Structure 1
Amino acid sequence: MKTLKYFFTIFICSVCSFNAMSQVPLYTADAVRFSQTDGGGSARFVGLGGANVSLGGDISSISGNPAGLGFYNRSQWALSPVLRIGDYSAEYEGESTQNIGGNFQIPNMGMVFHSRFEEYAGSKWISGAFGIAINQKESFYNNINYRGTVEQDQNGLIYDFTESALFPFLTDDGFRVFNFQTEISDVANSDTYTYLAYQTYLLQTFATNDDNFIVDRYDYDGATDGYLTESAVQTENIDSYSGLTTLDVSYGANYNDVLYLGASANINFLNYRQVRDFRETPSNNLLNYMELNEETTISGTGAAFTVGAIYKPLNILNLGFSYTTPTFISLTETQEISMESFFIYNPETDEENISYEEEVVNDVPAYSLRLPQKISVGATAFISKYGFLTADLEYVDYASARYSSTNGAFGGDTPDVGSDLQSTFNLKVGAEARWNILRGRVGFAYFDNPYRNFERNRQSISAGIGIMRKNGFFVDATYRLSSFSNPEITAYAGSDVVTSESSISSVRLTLGKSF
């Protein structure tokens, strides 16, 4: 069987039916999802809105601007657990739903090993630091939960899952006519969802007056020449998990307390899992419900490099720059789809209170994705010993994202996602106030819209506190609220779209010690 995602995209574009298809093409949405990064890192830098290009001396420098490692004068370890709580809202067919969920992770941990260049007498290179860290640069944690009722149209048809699955059995002039029932299975096998609907009796075989056969909906009533379903309640819960994590190996050096240079190798580990649970309850007296469950897993590894510099033209001013190369990542994808139908009465088999189940597993041939390059500049102004203001501007070339495959992962038609995307400028600003051993921080981040034809801006606000102890132990805590709109989901042909918003609150704690 050909890969589900390829069939799925063609099927949706043809009839605008099955609900998993976003208004944004599937591969385009994945390219954006895997390319966007909020930086992650320590509670300190998250509290500053993620601005870290012109700052140093933090464990986040390993995965951000490696030049910041040059600010270290001691070795250090740190780890950062985070608790996320999501508030999700959706609207479909005039009905609004709201859902709350949460998860816990330790997305960031690392160590820095500092050394002085004392053996090089007379050199202006003062010190260097080697760092290694695991950092989740983007969390895919999200939820969409909707409910709505679809009705018959003026032609007496209800555009539900069964109607969308029937599409391969239709022609421009009506139903496809079969001379033999054995021919029907070939058509049913041509599409994953049609196959599942046929195996669970949502699509059934009817004999014609001339001893041929057609395939129609299970609820077709020949006596009234119509369909028994007048409405159907649709509900779906879509959970997304995991994230984009990097193993970063970095080095930064200090030249005369004026110039700081650094470089890092970034090994990317992408793990994306989405679980969808869809249920449809029709108004007829034949089918109690049908349920469709899907689990998609995309995983892969890739590599990139980052170089950076921080320059101090004045004691009260830092200027920073970092560049991350495009990331080439090899991906594998598996999709497990199961369907269950529970009939009150099945007219084809003349059975009552019976359920049918079928499952399909699709292993998509391996393919590759080039994630875009990123260029960041930043500045930090210090206010004596009382704190500082900092800001970053990040350029991301989403239009350069590219898929490729040498073994037919896309059915012979590689998606041109670059034509759907555009370059963006993201802004991150933050401020820190200092009083004795206490630190107070606030931050804001704005992530520009990467889509050409869909509005999707993200923003976050953050606030945090920190305590620096004389024995080298420190603790930072930050609260961040991130808000964004999800791409619209087309539920079924002829029905409304699902619009949804996500607001994710996170509490991040960083514990560390210098040694």
Structure 2
Amino acid sequence: MKKNISILLLALFVPFFMQAQDLLDALRYSNIQVSGTARAGAMGNAFGALGGDFTSISINPAGLGVYRSSELTVTPKFTYGKTEGNYMNTSMEDTKYNFALNNLSYVTTIPTAATSEAGLISINLGIGYNRLKDFNSNALMGGSGVTSSFLDDLIENANGEDLNGAGWSDFYEELAYYNPNTESGADLIYYDDEAGLWRSDIQKNPFDQNIENYPVSQRKSISRSGSIDEYSFAVGLNFNHKVYLGATLGVTDIYYRESSTYEEWDQQGNIPNFVDMQFDSYLRTTGTGYNFKFGMIYKPVNEVRLGVALHTPTFYDMHDFFHTAMYSRNDFDGTGVVDDSGFSPLNNYDYQLQTPLRATFSGAFVIAKKGLISVDYEYVDYSTAKLRRGGDGYNFTSENQEISDAYKSVGNIRVGGELRATNNLSLRAGYEYYPTAYNSTSLGNDQFKSDDKLNIYSAGFGYHFGSFTFDLAYRLSQQQEYELPYSAPSSGYYPVPEAAKFDGSTHDVLFTLGFKF
């Protein structure tokens, strides 16, 4: 599916090739999907009004007050993911397997009244870990007969034509130019002394204002790994078995790694001098942060539970490590293929990130003690995310303005149900919907990423025998995203790349072992 993409918005949303911190980073670490135990996972993590499960600590901490006994749980997760990329009407796919610990928790219940059912019934304390997001995936895209090139944006930047002020960079343009003083560089762009401009051999008509390129073949592979994990310290209060209050201190940990390889070559053999090129990019981000959560659950009658929770922003201290490399093969004047390469410096950069505030409104209905239905509505305004305090004193004013203009508020939906088939066996199912964070238009232009979305379908069962519980869940995540293969020129003189559509399917199997005492 082709997307019509404005030149301006192409310049704003440039995945995979950015070493600077920008609106993509803010969304990547703000857009989370809470995951914990297999019971909650099977029920779409719709636990804002239910509680009694450690996953609820990361949704509505009042759920901790619902516990009637102490509990220890552990939840491993097995994942198989497949991503299909469609670019220039060509489909390619890649897969990845992963194993992770999704949850580890301990809850203790402290009764405050031995026999009374009035007043403060118990104080519950919980400590543990839930996974908030998985980054693990492999993706592949490619096409032939493409008349835009990775080199177009580099030439635009070198010539000072970029409308956003991008210029010569040690991580891009410097690698594409062969510097005789250092005897390094891929020798893919050159300076035309007569015209006073930078050129590339891929250009057919470098002296025309609107550049036309020779067709090339392109391929790109992207590998991502890492996660966002939350370590929670929580307290929950039970009043009269009708009102439950809770608070959580969450300490979050980010580890994100992305490596990509982009290739471009002259499959038809028509381009003078140029044979092929390769650009490698590596980014590793680590961060630690903290947040607070407050919540309440109210039971007006035994069959109905209503919940509300507020999450403060998470305040992160972040560190990026980034480097790039470029390789080429050229055959100048038919004298033989020459291999050239260039390598960037190693870039380390510290900054801070503030994610949006979140609010969750929940409701659950218990059906004759044989089943239940639960719904969570989570409100998040992604336009309020902020980048702050760069390590070199940079204040991110323009990036934060782009965040405010490009992103919007969304309502995430989680729905779950449970049926008690026997005294020991429960059957479960759930659904989650996470809409795009992008406005349909920004700065007066259409956004090609406004069609991004994530749907999650889940099912499972639970079996308890004595003090032990065993829960199993299967979750299918279907994600649709649009991304650019490389940075797009903004001046209008150069061909504009087409966005690739990525359809990802992730299969998760979780099982939780629990012990109540």
Q: TM-score, normalised by structure 1?
A: 0.83
Q: Could you tell me how far apart the structure 2 residues matched to 1:159 and 1:16 are? A: 14
Moved more, 370-379 or 163-172: 163-172
Residue 332 of structure 1 corresponds to which residue in structure 2? 319
Q: Provide the residue aligned with 1:76 in structure 2.
A: 71
Query: Could you say which residue in structure 2 is the equivalent of 1:4?
Result: none
Could you say if the C-alpha distance between residues 26 and 237 of structure 1 is closer, same or farther in structure 2, counting changes exceeding 3 Å?
Answer: farther
- Aligned counterparts of 1:260 and 1:481: Cα–Cα separation in 2: 32
Alpha-carbon separation, structure 2, partners of 1:171 and 1:62: 51
Instruction: Quote the residue 2:358 is aligned against.
Output: 374
Structure 1 residue aligned with 2:264: 280
Is 1:197 aligned to residue 184 of structure 2? no
Structure 2 partner of 1:182: none
Look up the match of 1:430.
416
In 2: Cα distance, 1:443 partner to 1:215 partner: 56
- Which stretches in structure 1 are left out of the alignment for 5+ residues? 1-11, 152-157, 173-186
User: What whole-Å deviation, never above 9, does each CA across 1:30-57 have from its counterpart, x for those lacking one?
Assistant: 2222112211111111111110111122
How far the C-alpha of 1:287 sits from its partner, in A, is 4.3
- Check the 8 A contact 1:274/1:296 in 2, yes or no: yes
Per-residue deviation, 1:145? 1.4
2:457 pairs with 1:461: yes
Shift in alpha-carbon separation, 1:69–1:170, aligned structure 2, 3 A = closer
5 Å-filtered alignment, 1:180-191, equals 190=169
- Quick one: structure 1 residues 218 and 329, their matched pair in 2 at CA, closer, same or farther if it must change by over 3 Å? same
C-alpha separation in 2, matches of 1:15 and 1:316: 51
Aligned CA distance change for structure 1 residues 148 and 74 (closer, same or farther; 3 Å): same
The alpha-carbon deviation at position 235 of structure 1 amounts to: 0.4
Which residue of structure 1 lines up, in the alignment, with residue 372 of structure 2? 388
Report what 1:401 is aligned to.
Answer: 385
Measured in 2, the distance between the counterparts of 1:400 and 1:30 equals: 14
Gaps of 5+ in 2: 1-6, 178-184, 441-449, 489-494
Q: Tell me the distance in 2 between the aligned counterparts of 1:43 and 1:369.
A: 31
1:160 aligns with 2:149: yes
The one-character-per-residue Cα deviations of 1:470-499 (angstroms, maximum 9, x if unpaired) are 1x1111111111112113315454332212
Deviation at 1:266, TM superposition (A): 0.8
Most deviating of 482-491 and 75-84: 482-491
Q: Secondary structure at the match of 1:192?
A: coil
Paired residues of 1:306 and 1:322 also in contact (CA < 8 A)? yes
- Which residue number in structure 2 is paired with residue 3 of structure 1? none
- What percent identity do the matched residue pairs reach? 26
Cα gap change, 1:388 to 1:215, in 2 (>3 Å): closer
For 1:356 and 1:488, locate their aligned partners in 2 and report how far apart those are by CA, in whole Å: 29
Q: Give the alignment's Cα RMSD to 1 decimal.
A: 3.2
Q: Aligned-pair distance for 1:196?
A: 0.7
| Aligned: 1:270 with 2:254 | yes
Instruction: Work out whether residues 171 and 345 of structure 2, in 8 Å CA contact, stay in contact via their aligned partners in 1.
Output: no
Say whether 1:216 aligns with 2:199. yes
Instruction: Answer with 254-263 or 61-70: which moved more.
Output: 61-70
**Structure number with bigger Rg:** 1
| Candidates 493, 499, 502, aligned match of 1:500 | 502
1:45 maps to what in 2?
40
**Which of these residues, 400, 414, 419, is aligned with residue 415 of structure 1?**
400
Question: Structure 1 residues 385, 259: CA separation in 2 closer, same or farther (over 3 Å shift)?
Answer: same
Query: Structure 1 residues 397, 77: CA separation in 2 closer, same or farther (over 3 Å shift)?
Result: same
Counterpart check, 1:112 vs 2:98: no
Per the alignment, do residues 58 and 292 of structure 1 end up closer, same or farther by CA in structure 2, a change over 3 Å counting?
A: same
Q: Which runs of structure 2 are paired with 1:52-67 in the superposition (5 Å)?
A: 52-67=47-62
Amino acid at match of 2:437: P
The aligned residue for residue 9 of structure 1 is: none
What SS is found at the alignment partner of 1:265?
strand
Tell me which moved more, 117-126 or 387-396.
117-126
- Tell me what 1:302 maps to: 289
Pairwise CA distance, 1:289: 2.6
Contact 1:364–1:409 (Cα < 8 Å) also in 2: no
Q: For residues 111 and 483 of structure 2, what CA distance do their matches in structure 1 show?
A: 55
Count of residue correspondences: 473
Counterpart CA distance in 2 for 1:122 and 1:161 is 70
> What is the aligned partner in structure 2 of residue 512 from structure 1?
514
Q: CA deviation at 1:243?
A: 1.9
TM-score by length of 2: 0.83
In 2, are the aligned partners of 1:22 and 1:489 still within 8 Å (CA)?
no
